[in-house]
Structure 1
Amino acid sequence: MDHSMGRRRLFIMDCLVLIMVALNIIEAATAATTFEVGGSLGWTVPPNTSYYATWASSKTFAVGDTLEFKWNSTHNVLEVMTKAEYDGCTKTNGPIWETSPVVTTVTAGTRYFICSIGTHCARGQKLAVTSVASANVPTTPPGSSASSFPTASVVLPAILSTIAISFIFVI
């Protein structure tokens, strides 16, 4: 009887460890980062025209990460669609946000943001963000409509089902 109880306790402990490991793997696979644009400076006319380019170059942006634009005075965030519009500070009919904070999700490719107030963009208040292929977010190759990467909604039930079946046969 004692031997059987010891085996059960050991099995239960093994199952709990397996569940904790699985949950940590799933959490790491779905984690995203929130970046406060400009760091402590925030979204404002910067001290030099290369400030936001330098800030962005020190970061690695992945699909699913978020950008948070925060400002205190008169600014906005206008998303322009091309590098030419970004370089020329061309005000377009792109998406515009006029109240702080603005939170937007990083998508595949490069996105361009400017402040369209006065000469703010020409003075350096603009940001280009290029995402890298994320190890956490599977990319779908051209011509393919679905990913072969197992998601948490597939992995977790499979692990829990295996544990439940094993538990039934041990007891």
Structure 2
Amino acid sequence: MTRGRGGAAVLLLLILGARMSGGAEAARTYTVGDYGGWKFNVRGWARGKTFRAGDVLEFRYNRAVHDVAAVDAAAYRSCSPGRWKALRSGHDKVRLVKGTHYFICTVRGHCKANMKIAVTVI
């Protein structure tokens, strides 16, 4: 049996539909701290959220008094940024890859006031 143009079109739609439904979801942008932005006591903000590779964290803050640095687990726990470079634009975006990511404010005392987050990306 031969298949006409209509059959080929249906087959193409089925293939495209399968790819779209089984494919990766569109990347999402998350504003850290939601409407309040990157601030004190934001540590629990990531709880209950599912982050995927390709998602973006957007850090909004007053750059005159805060910053944000991506650090390792040890720097996160100790609130000691050490060699880690801070971002200071007041509107920084970080694209996530699979794994656990740690962010702190490097201004003295801010990390210890829970201006830090850890996010796990699947």
TM bucket, shorter chain? 0.7 to 0.9
Looking at structure 2, the residues matched to 104 and 19 of structure 1 have their Cα atoms a distance apart, in angstroms, of 35
Looking at structure 1, the residues matched to 67 and 14 of structure 2 have their Cα atoms a distance apart, in angstroms, of 44
Looking at structure 1, the residues matched to 47 and 115 of structure 2 have their Cα atoms a distance apart, in angstroms, of 15
Look up the SS of the partner of 1:119 in the other structure. Answer: coil
Return the TM-score normalized by structure 1: 0.58
1:97 aligns with 2:97: no
After superposition, where does 1:7-156 map in structure 2 within 5 Å? 11=6, 15=9, 18-19=12-13, 22=16, 25=20, 29=24, 31-46=26-41, 51-52=42-43, 54-73=44-63, 74-81=65-72, 83-132=73-122
Aligned residues: CA RMSD: 2.6
Looking at structure 2, the residues matched to 44 and 117 of structure 1 have their Cα atoms a distance apart, in angstroms, of 12
Residue segments in structure 2 that go unaligned for 5+ positions in a row: none
> Which has the larger share of helix?
1
Looking at structure 2, the residues matched to 28 and 115 of structure 1 have their Cα atoms a distance apart, in angstroms, of 36
Q: Quick check: 1:69–1:100 contact (8 Å CA) kept in 2?
A: yes
Look up the SS of the partner of 2:112 in the other structure. Answer: coil
Rg larger for: 1
Identity among equivalent positions (%) equals: 33
> Which has the larger share of strand?
2
Larger RCO (CA within 8 A; separation ≥ 6): 2
Residue segments in structure 1 that go unaligned for 5+ positions in a row: 1-6, 133-171
Q: May I ask how many residue pairs the two structures share in their alignment? A: 117
